[in-house]
Structure 1
């Protein structure tokens, strides 16, 4: 039986149509990914399905009694609760089920064994068992651990957590309620790779219908079973994996492009004929051709024709063979020891990925490599002709004063005309270059930072979460540019697709030091999985020996 059926949904924003004719049907264990450019209406659609945003047309039907949970980027309204209580509060109906079971048990103990009482008890018991039985609270706190929280944090007030931590708490709360329909808006934000992998396994095993919006390509491929594509306000449903949909869309866009080219050639031919013979001996034929022109239904350019970032790095100046060499390094952040006795090297042309859990010290390390921080102990040598550019995670170096153009000129020292030409490549054309910095979205700030990075002419790039806030097309443009970059690269990212495509060597934070692995993310993941498997086998052998 379907959990949700949506027919011909419509939504207007500020009097203009945003969505028209959106249709979908979801059953348990369907995991639908929603695709579309920024502003296509993905978040609005999730809120419509959750009942938080009204419909301007169409019909939405939910299975009787279906429980719906929405996780999005809005912070919790109630900040006075502890982390544990906030998450458990998302399962208020399970508390009600426990109370109802207690009432029914008391009634049966008093002699009530009629069919209605027994039926009610069986139904409530089945509901509780589906959520994990009377241990559902343990399951809820296990979600917090899977998303990177320690047991010591469970009783802390929400007011003491950062915005990223509150976003993870919101995700745990959505999972805790054992929903029938789970709606997730950017659930991978603020998760490290271990938490991402935990979430993928959890969603794959969840007995619920799931609709999700995400920009993490590896995550979309691992989780999704179907795709709902939003374009021009309309929806298109595709049954299959995310990469299969991308292949189908590429073939569709290629065919549409060819059809558009054919139509444009035909229109040009007819226009030339009309212009040439309008007043001559073939005026009647020209008039007929003009009528044909008026009757042609013009094909509209598709998504592929929309503007994309012109992200390309100039050929890098040749540096010395060794770019960085870190020896016996001790790195601290305040009173916290992050690395001790760590070694790291980077050679000319290498693309090195840094991986490790949140809080391990990745950002602190790359800031040290870039000269932004000092070592507590050890040596850092920099090679000949090394020109480093650092792209920080949050982009605080931009500030909030002035306009996009002024910020670009400050950072690049380009003339206004050259700065505008640069910004145009990054989708800041015309008046957009005069937008104030304080009004920029996260994606716009990231595009501006990338524009400044390209203009730096650096031969060593040090990038901290460069895909933050970027849509899929921009992520892929960045990936292609980094693949073509012939300089040296140190990359910190939770985007495993980017790590797999760009990295030639992986350096992992392990037990307070650094360990180097040959190859990119895929090779490192296989090595790590083999080590985990070997460790599990060793533990089993030790248990057998003790027995």
Structure 2
């Protein structure tokens, strides 16, 4: 379908591809992997015909149709959502218009026009058959299916496109692309602006997609679910690994070990030959052997080891142990004008909880997070904080609130307690800010760098309750993996929102579904949540409560604080002001070794603290036990229902 031969591409002195050959076959499912800047987007753009290679060829089959979705930047105006996405059916629209023209002509034509009437009828039959063959009578159903799957309600479909934000604009573009059904579908991070329901739908849609798919994604679960081949972009070439992303990780590691071993052996041979040449170069009796080794070295194709990808590394600091209950919400209500987002919500957060908030965009997840963090007050109801609770909140736009005029170091110093100042350079190094990077202005950082800086700031003050609203935004796969490991080892309580399915699966021990003004609590991880939902939809189990049961034991307000009036929320804990960091000559921060380091090292390995939540495997074992018990109860219910029916039958039988 697609054949690349001898491809070269460079930007200035930076060579992305050199003499590359590669192919895409029919119905291929390919994920592109590699560090940022390796050339993944450039490859997609060359396949789409938006960029030209410097040398080489990209040949495609004559019937190839191409659809390309960039990361962002697409804006639609002037139409409703429905009218915009229907433009994907250009040929069908043209056929429908021709049908109407022929119908109008036939309405006024006569039978004595020299055979024109018969020709029109024949053409009308051809157009109608073509329209039917291309699925013209299924347009409305296909549009409804795709728009619903991507999160557009029926009223949304009739709204003007310019009313939607950038993320929703990309959903409109994705809908048009999927409806057009090109036989080569190119997508650059298509899940960036999708919530979990929309991602799940897209996975299913791509599973049955009739064409070939080449995509870039930083969502590991999505890659595992959608691709059957990973093409690694790096070292100026493309390397194929057959299988999904998880298989690629294993195979890549094994391949790198083999490459390092081959490099080691080659290095030994080269050093041995070089030593021989230098030792016997001027001895006539060894001249032939010396020349032989010189020729050998000239022919050696030196094995190149790719540089190790730099990864962030950190551990969340330990914090004081809180009471059993960290937070309670009682009767919480929050509305924006006529839009009621939360209505009489009762929640309890207990020590060790790992809670994932799920629901479509706009359902109220971020609103609930801000109320839980004490940043926003509810319109009604109360938020009650437990004993010794120290909260750290990472907002969805956390990176946007950084001060762009400060340097990276100054931004850290502004939030640092005095005892942590000597550790700032150490922490920043763990987040890939090394050398003079710490003196960059925050305003010039990329989205991923700003997110890393915002995460780094969270290590300055120990907390026992982390509230994280989409912390994985703008992070690559390696950085997500490190963040995930750090959160898995975190000894405190965690509440988070993430649209990364793999991230949610690994961390959640409880799921709260937000929507329709309610917060529904499901025990177990995301897989368990999906299981419960499917059971409910099939009518196989009684529905879970619409909101978490009110706790039997309630927290009391702190003795020193007055009871809040109805509708007020308890204030978030405020940390003491930080002293200004010491500076060396020239205004730059003093080196770390000028002051004794504190005992806490956020980058040092740490054993899981006592009382920490169980690991993933333990949670899965508990979930399996729960599912088996549920199946047993369902069987018992079925037997008892049958017994009741038998008794009723006997009672209804005369005699």
Which TM bucket (shorter chain)? Answer: 0.7 to 0.9
- Go from structure 1 to structure 2 and tell me whether the alpha carbon gap of 1:536 and 1:8 turns closer, same or farther (over 3 Å shift): farther
**Aligned-residue offset at 1:408:** 1.6
1:470 aligns with 2:468: no
Cα 1:136/1:428, change in 2 over 3 Å: same
Distance 1:401 1:367, change over 3 A: same
Larger displacement relative to structure 2 (504-513 or 48-57): 504-513
Q: Deviations over 1:304-355 (max 9, x none)?
A: x221111222233322221112222223344421222222222222211111
SS at 1:412 equivalent: coil
Contact 1:326 1:381 (8 Å CA) reproduced: yes
| Closer, same or farther: CA 130–160 of 1 in aligned 2, 3 Å | same
Residue 355 (structure 2) pairs with residue 352 (structure 1):
yes
Q: Deviations over 1:241-283 (max 9, x none)?
A: 22222221122123334445566678899999999x99xxxxx
Deviation at 1:302, TM superposition (A): 3.0
Other-structure match for 1:543: none
In structure 2, the partner of 1:430 is: 435
- Structure 1 stretch displaced more, 466-475 or 387-396: 387-396
> Which residue does 2:380 correspond to in 1?
377
Contact 2:33 2:216 in 1 (8 A): yes
Structure 1 residue aligned with 2:597:
none
Cα RMSD of the aligned pairs, angstroms, is 3.5
- Asked if 1:507 is matched to 2:507, the reply is no
Please state how far the C-alpha of 1:104 moved relative to its aligned partner.
8.4
User: Contact (CA 8 Å) 1:317, 1:487: kept in 2 or not?
Assistant: no
**Cα 1:76–1:534 shift into 2, 3 Å:** same
Larger Rg over CA atoms? 2
Change (3 A) 1:19 1:293: closer
1:207 aligns with 2:210: yes
1:63 alignment counterpart = 61
CA distance 1:271–1:14, shift in 2 (3 Å): closer
TM-score of the pair, normalised by structure 2: 0.73
* Corresponding residue of 1:408: 412
- Structure 2, unaligned runs of 5 or more: 107-114, 281-285, 544-655
3-state DSSP of counterpart to 2:520: strand
2:156 aligned partner: 153
Aligned-partner Cα distance in 1 for 2:366–2:239: 40
Q: CA deviation at 1:14?
A: 3.0
Match of 1:231 in 2: 234
Question: Where in structure 2 are the equivalents of 1:308-323 lying within 5 Å?
Answer: 308-323=311-326
Q: For the Cα contact (< 8 Å) 1:46–1:183, is it kept in 2?
A: yes
Where does residue 84 of structure 1 map in the other structure? 82
In the alignment, does 2:22 pair up with 1:24? yes
Structure 2 equivalent of residue 542 of structure 1: none
Three-state SS of the structure 2 residue aligned to 1:384 is coil
1:200 touches 1:222 (CA, 8 Å); kept in 2? yes
Distance 1:97 1:74 in 2: 32
1:493 to 482, 498, 509: 498
State whether residues 67 and 184 of structure 2, in contact with CA within 8 Å, keep that contact through their aligned partners in structure 1. yes
Answering whether residue 401 of structure 2 is matched by residue 397 of structure 1, we say yes
* Preserved CA contact (<8 Å) 2:314 2:427: no
Aligned residue number for residue 111 of structure 1: 118
Q: 2:39 touches 2:234 (CA, 8 Å); kept in 1? A: no
Structure 1 residues 457 and 223, CA, compared in 2 at 3 Å: closer, same or farther? same
Distance, in Å, in 2 between the alignment partners of 1:125 and 1:239 is 43
Q: Which position in structure 1 is the counterpart of 2:168?
A: 165
Aligned to 2:186: 183
Q: 1:11 & 1:73 partners in 2: Cα distance?
A: 21
Whole-angstrom CA distance in 2 between matches of 1:274 and 1:420? 47
Secondary structure in structure 2 of the residue aligned to 1:468: coil
Offset from partner CA, 1:76-108 (integer Å, 9 cap, x none)? 355333323322233323323444566789899
Q: Deviations over 1:439-469 (max 9, x none)?
A: 2211111111111112222221110111111
Aligned partners of 1:140 and 1:175 also within 8 Å: no
Take 1:209 and 1:88, find their aligned partners in 2: how far apart are those partners?
Answer: 22
1:195 to 181, 191, 198: 198
Alpha-carbon deviations, 1:505-527, whole Å to 9, x = none? 21222542222222211222222
For the structure 1 residues 317 and 201, does the alpha-carbon distance in structure 2 shift closer, same or farther, using more than 3 Å as the test?
same
The Cα of 1:298 is off from its aligned counterpart by: 5.1
Q: Distance in 2 between matches of 1:268 and 1:73?
A: 47
Mark the CA change 1:171 to 1:57 in structure 2 (over 3 Å): closer, same or farther.
same
Separation of aligned partners in 2, 1:130 and 1:70: 25
Greater strand content: 1
TM-superposition CA deviations, 1:1-54 (whole Å, max 9, x none): x3x333333222235321234443334432211111111111111111111111
Q: 1:484 to 1:266 in 2, by over 3 A?
A: farther
Equivalent residue pairs, number: 529
Other structure's SS at 2:249 match: helix
- Provide the C-alpha distance between the structure 2 equivalents of 1:444 and 1:186, rounded to a whole number of angstroms: 18
Relative distance call for 1:25 and 1:263 in structure 2 (3 A) is closer
The answer to whether the aligner puts 1:14 opposite 2:33 as a matched pair is no
Partner in structure 2 of residue 281 of structure 1? none
